[in-house]
Amino acid sequence: MKRSNEFRFTATRAAIQWGLDRKTLNKRLCAAEIVPGKDGKFSIRQIDAAVHGDKEGEEIRLIRAKREAQEMANEEMAGNLVDLAEYRQHSAKKIIAAKQGIMSKTYLTDEQKDDILTTIANAFTVEHPDPAKRETSEKSQ
């Protein structure tokens, strides 16, 4: 039995049916990443999701955001989080003292000193979990 296309709409026809401007509907379809079927038409469910939003998806995102905020609050209360700016300021003083101590050692070659300093710098490198926001302690010094 052939499936009926009675309840499938082109974007233009859907805009008329839902009382929207065609451009507005197209923007919402794009924003929701909704694409037409092979027939170039959209189902009622697709149009409804574009017009009214994905309530279930929004609820899931809200629940996830609340859970993440609660987890962060719990970690903070447990003392498991460290303020990055405070860490950098505190460790910078210690790194400077270590560098001065290493540089004053006459029995080490310049290459050995460089190796030790590189190891120390790498040990104190802090990367942000988001690659776009990553910084190292070396950049802030």
Residues 6 or more apart whose Cβ sits within 8 Å of residue 120: 95, 98, 99
- Residue 32 DSSP SS3: coil
Confidence grade of residue 137 (pLDDT, cut at 50, 70, 90): very low
Average pLDDT of span 120-137: 66
Confidence grade of residue 105 (pLDDT, cut at 50, 70, 90): confident
Confidence grade of residue 141 (pLDDT, cut at 50, 70, 90): very low
**Encoding tokens for residue 4?**
């009926």
Cα–Cα distance measured from residue 123 to residue 119, given in angstroms and rounded to the nearest whole number:
6
**Lowest mean pLDDT segment, chosen from 5-9, 20-24, 48-52:** 5-9
Distance of CA 9 to the CA centre of its chain: 35
Q: Which residue has the higher pLDDT, 17 or 56?
A: 17
Q: Is the pTM of this model over 0.85?
A: no
pLDDT of 110 strictly over 80? yes
pLDDT in tens, 61-102: 899 999 999 999 999 889 888 888 888 888 888 888 888 888
**Encoding tokens for residue 77?**
């209360």
- Residue 65 DSSP SS3: helix
Confidence grade of residue 5 (pLDDT, cut at 50, 70, 90): low
Report which secondary-structure segment, H or E, holds 29.
helix 22-31
